[in-house]
Structure 1
Amino acid sequence: MTKPYVYITRKLDEASLTPLKEVAHVEMWPSEDEPCPREELETQAAKADALLTMLSDQIDEPLLSKAPNIKVVANLAVGYDNIDLEAAKKHGITVCHTPDVLTESTADLAFALLMASARRIVEASDWIKDGNWTGWGPLLLAGADVHHKTLGIVGMGSIGTALAKRAKGFNMNVLYHNRSRKPEAEAQLGVTYAAFEELLKQSDFIVCLTPLTPETKDMFNEKAFDLMKNSAYFINVSRGQTVNEDALYEAVTTGKIAGAGLDVFRQEPVSPSHPLTTLPNVTVLPHIGSASVETRKTMMRLCAENIALVLQDEPAKTPVRL
């Protein structure tokens, strides 16, 4: 009996794919860094029974309409805004993602980005590497304190909750805004719900952790930055499309806010000539929120397990509700 065919759009750790290789024939795009070209993805999808995809892969109606055998698409991410869920439902395709397993790693990164932005860590490191450290002064590369400041979390899901726990270790006052109140988090962590505009006005650090939806697209715009303190830092570990980047650039360069830390951009990979990457008070990272070796391998295994289960007519472990 011929095994089902699975195509993976990026080169992944072979050992993490063991559960899948036991039940399917697996092929991968050979690069770890370069995305699978659309033409190649269409060719492979047309003959595949399953796809293991990245956020950079657009899984849409034109692709799925020419892929009659696909039963499951597993996305190597918590988010799945790159997948047309209505099209998947129409074609009877199960969509899976990787929730929960990357919560702590992403919260680590979010807090690290917050601290690096406040204390000018990358700027200070570059200062030495560029040969600029010729003396010492009392305000040399002085940044902002993190401890005892107010943190505003926009998007209080599992990652937001994990971030709040870290903030409490720094004696921070934590506000949050979410579609729904989180009484359990309020009771256990001592966090306080705030309307979006009130959170913007009160917070010293604002971290965006919302999923990308029609409601959250461009929610951080000129009006939002106008409401922030001029000493505030904006941190985005969510999706680049939640931010109007022109408005953010204007806010940073005119002193409306003190700086920003960005792990995501509207267009990725971001160009080194992008205006935001040229600013010393904007710390930029290449979308590495969950990028620890342990977490990424766990995500790979979960994707492999989800596909293997669906191909054997079993329920997936972590399906997206279509």
Structure 2
Amino acid sequence: MVQGTTLKLQGFKMDTAVVEQFLNFFQDYIGLCQCESWPDNDTTEAEIRNALLIAQHVEKSLDRLQKKKVISEFLSVLNSNNEASSNLIKNCLSDPPKYILNKIINSNTKINQMDVGFRIFLELFSEEKLENCLTELMLEAASKETLLRNVTNKLPRDKILEFKSKLLLLQLKSSESDVVKLLTNCSQDLVDVLVVSLLNNESQYGKAVQLIANGIHEVVLSKDSSSKTFWKFLFQVEDRYFTEMCIENSDIFIYIVEALTDCSKLLREGLSAKSFYIELSHSELVGVVQKICSKDCLKSLFFDTIKNYDNDLDYWEAML
């Protein structure tokens, strides 16, 4: 089958018999990739683990072949001795763990099979690799809701936010959705994701990040009662993300400070905030101010900005 073929791997010369044995392992993996019925409802946890272990071994083997500079020769032999199309082989070998994970996600198997796949993937690989694979696969997945529901059981919250953030940025990058419309009818989860997205400094997402910045800027400038929910959720964003957003976006921060002073005037004058654009209790206002002033650089800017809107600095200093 591969008569006369030789390869050098790990310092040893591989004759025809050894090459055939090596190729057989790769062909078994490609056969698994081609199997449309795998996994199914009868697939066991051990079989899923074995498939991911095979993918891991293939990935490491490809890396060794690359380092030994025999990858092109090996792939040529593999293609010439396999009935699968060269494109399929290329896809199977581009990222073996991701390919197997994708098969699990897009199969018609039970939901708990996907859960098992995520758990084993995390055992064999890293959270970062799972996050990257899922981000790339998300736009291809048959059910994003199902995928997200299962992912949230396996990754810590900060990883989930980063994951959802990348998905949102990818969507904004391709469709340029109306961020203002999103913020008008938002949820806490959406505002969390938008704030995390705003902190992304990867050049490929620059345009999408700017869309988010422009959208938030428009909402905070409008001072419209329809944005009351947005303000409520914005102040409930986790401290580290909220303060970093304020540090990185001084223009937005200035309007946040202005909104807090507007809110304080209502509280001090005993006026109703029912039709106002922002509504906080005194304790909530204190909490936001303390969150901001937990960072020295923000504390300084906060009080410098407050002076432009309120002469009663003692009122604000008493909150700390």
Please report the TM-score for the alignment, with normalisation by the length of structure 2: 0.27
Which one has the bigger helix percentage? 2
Which one has the bigger strand percentage? 1
> Greater relative contact order (Cα 8 A, min sep 6): structure 1 or 2?
1
Bigger radius of gyration, 1 or 2?
2
Please report the TM-score for the alignment, with normalisation by the length of structure 1: 0.27
